[in-house]
């Protein structure tokens, strides 16, 4: 696998190694050049059957994380607080003991719920976090489990659970064969796809166009994706539900439905969407009624069409309704489970089918203060602050964050920052000091991707093609480093030793047995016991990946997790929320609404410490339409104050016709200076946190935060 080759001056030996990028869901295969223990070159691996040679600037920067002197490699303990804090390296045993003591102290004195966990995005991209982290997390009996899910894709998971009986049995657009790709609130040209693992989106879109296919995009901003679409329609933030429901309405009134035989309850859907006319949608959203009707007809007539909605339509007040309506567009037109439509994967390790990921459950318990319902054992992260600050039984006293940064990534970061600062104990498993981990008493840093074996459990489940790939660690870990799975194992053992009320013995022993096996061993076992015929030995021989083939149609109804193997098209939860939407006044479009954005060179709130991704033109500005600037007597480049119900920020404004009038946009993941402290961030990175403006009181019925369409003033 390592093809050693001597460089001309033979001063050092350059090696080529196959690697993988885990920074986003595209999971590109890489060819890395290694010299003197460093990555000196990175390109896409053309032999990778899924990513086909694609790479983006972040993939090239993967080596920068590995080499970054600011990256934590040994545990650190905080001495002092706030701007005066110092960090001291300590040994692993001491560090793990302090963390286990802190957690056990809170639980023993105040009960299970006194300990809270927050799991951030990179957990989904680490094999060890999935095989071992989740096992450890599940052994804690606290109700206060949180993750980035509730500022992201919670409505998708809830609708998967409601329609198909499993939170991750989610169809993905068959991008390689579709002839009509209808996109709401997603920007795959920058994000490289989400809940749709689609490396080389630009190349795949080119092929779609060469086939004569179309892509139609609804977005309040003319994004990178909108610019390469066949059609882009501005939609007022937070009003997509009206548009999507009007499309369903049109399908029924024009007799354009062709549902599969296992879908029940369509008469109820027809009745429920009856009032949502294209005219009402036009008034709410700004999209013309004729366009809505025309697009619906084209969608229904296309030979293989896929509707897709992502962040922009998940993180809004009617996110669940939006995600339901997207599924229904595909179902009602017979495009679900059909070539060119929205299809299900058949991964080598079927994490869904084999029950490695639970089906999900809803509202088994509620949060203590606000009574917000759980999903899959997690509470909405928007309630975390109040659970920390509200006294009483069950108050959170200790927090463990794992690969996350909720101070920047969840609503009202300023208030959460303050709340975390007031905890009795805080610890983090993270490779950087960030705006959240700076409150930790101890930070436990695992190895990074290049130092550990990788197999993608979740993203093969959501990929546009069935493939399998195992990538051995590119670099060996040093003796004083720990893999994340080793940290999870050791922490589990230590905490359980200290707890007065332990988990039931059987459960503990099962967890311990699982935690003692390495992730790679578990992958080998899962492959061996699966039905794909792919083995770890084969994958080791083919580190570029093995192609299983294009997505297979006709998997339903047998793959459904519903009891009767049928789809109930109008779940009660959705019916109730449609009533709520019906009772709402149709939005007038008078308020100025804030939305977020992602840039190809950003990675949520981190990776701002590499020069490669941060030099050049800054991209932290508030984007605003020139007419909106004029109306306020503001000029391009001015420092403006953006204020919401929750807070205010000062930031430079940039005039652009790429946002629709009445809409302003800030990127998320910025705002690194807190208390005058800057952490692991290149000096050229400036900007503010959009989540100092977002409102933790505004939740979708699923519990997801409303991050899109926040009313603001700009002065």
Ligand X SMILES: Nc1nc2c(c(=O)[nH]1)N[C@H]1C(S)=C(S)[C@@H](COP(=O)(O)OP(=O)(O)OC[C@H]3O[C@@H](n4cnc5c(=O)[nH]c(N)nc54)[C@H](O)[C@@H]3O)O[C@H]1N2
Nearest residue (CB) to Mo ion, 496 versus 689: 689
- 48-67 residues in contact with ligand SF4 (CB under 6 A) are 55-56, 58-59
**Selected range binding ligand SF4 among 18-26, 299-307, 617-625, 706-714, rule: CB under 6 A:** 18-26
145, two tokens: 């489990």
Main-chain phi, psi angles of 701, to 5 degrees: -60, -25
CB-count exposure of residue 633 (10 Å: 0-12, 13-18, 19+): exposed
In angstroms, the CA 578 to CA 572 distance is: 10
Least separation, in Å, of the C-beta of 402 and Mo ion?
Answer: 15
Q: Judged by CB under 6 A, does residue 523 bind ligand SF4?
A: no
Report the side by side order of strands in the sheet with 214-218. Answer: 231-233, 214-218, 180-184, 305-309
Question: 292, 200, 211, 212: which is closest to 244 by C-alpha?
Answer: 292
CB-nearest residue to ligand SF4: 59
Nearer to ligand X among residue 148 and residue 305 (C-beta): 148
Nearest approach in angstroms of CB 244 to ligand X is: 9
- The number of residues that bind ligand SF4 (CB under 6 A) is 12
Distance, first Cα to last Cα, the chain: 58
Sole window of 23-31, 250-258, 474-482, 576-584 interacting with ligand SF4 (rule: CB under 6 A): 23-31
Query: Angle at the Cα of 264 (from 258 to 268), degrees rounded to 5?
Result: 90
The span from the CA of 666 to the CA of 180, in Å, is 30
Residue 367 touches which of ligand SF4, Mo ion, ligand X, none (Cβ within 5-8 Å per kind): none
| Cα 677 to Cα 146: distance, rounded to the nearest angstrom | 26
Q: Which residues of 105-117 are buried (b: 16+ CB within 10 A; e: fewer)?
A: bbbeebbebbbbb
Structure tokens at 641: 């104050």
Closest CB 456 distance from ligand SF4, rounded Å: 10
Q: Encoding tokens for residue 283?
A: 């008034």
Give the torsion through C-alpha atoms of 53, 55, 61, 66, to 10 deg.
-50
122 binds, among Mo ion, ligand SF4, ligand X, none (CB under 5 to 8 A by kind): ligand X
Provide CB contacts within 8 A for 692, sequence distance 6+.
412, 413, 414, 646, 647, 648, 649, 671
Determine the residue with CB nearest Mo ion. Answer: 152
CB 174, CB 304: distance < 8 Å: yes
Is residue 26 close enough to count as binding ligand SF4 by CB under 6 A?
A: yes
The CB-of-181 to ligand SF4 minimum distance in angstroms stands at 19
191 binds, among ligand SF4, ligand X, Mo ion, none (CB under 5 to 8 A by kind): ligand X
Rg of the chain on CA atoms, in Å: 25
Q: Give the binding site for ligand X (CB under 6 A).
A: 24, 120-122, 126, 148, 151-152, 184-188, 190-192, 194, 218-221, 223, 235, 237-238, 240, 310-313, 316, 402-406, 409, 429-432, 434, 446, 448, 484, 595-598, 600, 602-606, 668-669, 690-691, 694, 707-709
Find which of ligand X, ligand SF4, Mo ion, none residue 27 binds, CB within 5 to 8 Å per kind: ligand SF4
Q: Which of these ranges, 17-25, 182-190, 255-263, 481-489, lies near ligand SF4 under the rule CB under 6 A?
A: 17-25
Q: In whole angstroms, what is the distance from residue 396 CA to residue 231 CA?
A: 49
Place of tokens 């000029």: 635
Closest to ligand SF4 by CB, 599 or 678? 599
- CB of residue 132 to ligand SF4, shortest distance in Å: 23
Q: What residues from 185 to 214 belong to the interface with ligand SF4 (CB under 6 A)?
A: 192, 199
Q: Determine if 247 is a binding residue for ligand SF4 (CB under 6 A).
A: no
Residues that bind ligand SF4 (CB under 6 A): 21, 23-24, 26-28, 55-56, 58-59, 192, 199
């Amino acid at each position: 696998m390592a093809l050693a080759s001597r460089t001309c001056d033979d001063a050092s030996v350059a090696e080529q190694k196959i690697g993988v990028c885990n920074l986003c869901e595209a999971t590109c295969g890489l060819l890395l050049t290694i010299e003197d223990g460093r990555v000196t070159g990175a390109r896409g691996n053309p032999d990778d059957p899924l990513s086909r040679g694609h790479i983006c600037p972040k993939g090239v920067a993967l080596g920068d994380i590995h080499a970054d002197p600011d990256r934590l490699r040994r545990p650190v303990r905080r001495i002092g607080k706030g701007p005066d804090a110092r960090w001291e390296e300590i040994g692993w045993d001491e560090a793990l003991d302090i963390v286990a003591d802190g957690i056990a102290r809170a639980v023993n004195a105040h009960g299970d719920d006194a300990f809270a966990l927050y799991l951030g995005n990179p957990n989904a991209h680490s094999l060890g976090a999935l095989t071992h982290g989740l096992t450890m997390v599940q052994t804690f009996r606290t109700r206060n489990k949180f993750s980035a899910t509730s500022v992201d894709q919670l409505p998708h998971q809830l609708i998967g659970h409601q329609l198909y009986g499993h939170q991750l049995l989610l169809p993905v657009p068959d991008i390689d064969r579709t002839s009509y790709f209808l996109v709401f609130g997603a920007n795959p040209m920058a994000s490289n796809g989400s809940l749709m693992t689609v490396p080389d989106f630009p190349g795949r879109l080119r092929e779609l166009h060469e086939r004569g296919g179309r892509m139609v995009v609804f977005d309040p901003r003319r994004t990178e994706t909108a610019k390469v679409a066949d059609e882009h329609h501005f939609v007022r933030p937070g009003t997509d539900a009206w548009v999507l429901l009007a499309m369903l309405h049109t399908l029924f009134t024009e007799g354009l439905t062709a549902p599969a035989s296992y879908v029940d309850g369509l008469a109820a859907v027809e009745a429920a969407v009856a009032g949502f006319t294209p005219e009402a949608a036009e008034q709410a959203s700004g999209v013309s009624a004729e366009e809505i009707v025309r697009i619906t007809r084209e969608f229904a007539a296309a030979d293989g069409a896929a509707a897709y909605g992502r962040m922009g339509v998940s993180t809004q007040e009617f996110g669940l309704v939006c995600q339901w309506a997207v599924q229904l567009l595909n179902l009602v037109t017979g495009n679900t489970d059909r070539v060119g439509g929205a299809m299900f994967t058949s991964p080598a390790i079927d994490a869904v089918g084999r029950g490695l990921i639970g089906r999900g459950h809803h509202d088994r318990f509620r949060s203590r203060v606000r009574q917000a319902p759980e999903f899959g054992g997690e509470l909405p992260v928007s309630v975390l602050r109040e659970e920390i600050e509200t006294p009483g039984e069950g108050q959170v006293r200790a927090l463990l964050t794992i690969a996350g940064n909720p101070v920047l990534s969840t609503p009202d970061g300023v208030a959460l920052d303050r709340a975390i600062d007031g905890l009795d104990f805080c610890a983090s498993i993270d490779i950087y000091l960030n705006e959240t981990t700076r409150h930790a008493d101890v930070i436990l840093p695992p190895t990074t991707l290049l130092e550990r074996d990788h197999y993608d459990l979740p993203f093969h489940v959501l990929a546009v093609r069935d493939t399998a790939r195992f990538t051995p660690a590119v670099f060996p870990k040093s003796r004083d480093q720990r893999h994340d799975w080793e940290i999870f194992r050791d922490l589990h053992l230590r905490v359980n030793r200290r707890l007065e009320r332990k988990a039931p013995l059987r459960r503990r022993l099962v967890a311990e047995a699982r935690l003692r096996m390495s992730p790679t061993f578990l992958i080998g076992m899962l492959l061996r016991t699966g039905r794909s015929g792919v083995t770890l030995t084969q994958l080791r021989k083919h580190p570029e990946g093995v192609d299983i083939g294009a997505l297979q149609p006709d998997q339903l109804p047998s793959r459904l997790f519903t009891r009767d193997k049928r789809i109930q098209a109008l779940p009660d939860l959705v019916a109730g929320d449609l009533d709520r939407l019906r009772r709402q006044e149709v939005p007038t479009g008078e308020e100025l609404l804030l939305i977020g954005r992602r840039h190809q060179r950003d990675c949520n709130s981190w990776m701002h410490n590499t020069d490669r991704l941060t030099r050049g033109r800054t991209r932290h500005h508030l984007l605003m339409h020139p007419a909106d600037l004029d109306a306020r007597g503001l000029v391009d480049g001015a420092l403006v104050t953006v204020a919401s119900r929750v807070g205010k920020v000062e930031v430079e404004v940039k005039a652009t016709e790429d946002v629709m009038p009445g809409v302003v946009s800030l990127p998320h993941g910025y705002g690194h200076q807190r208390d005058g402290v800057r952490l692991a961030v290149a000096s050229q990175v400036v900007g503010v946190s959009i989540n100092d403006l977002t409102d933790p009181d505004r939740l979708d019925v699923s519990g997801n935060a409303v991050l899109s369409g926040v009313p603001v003033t700009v002065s």
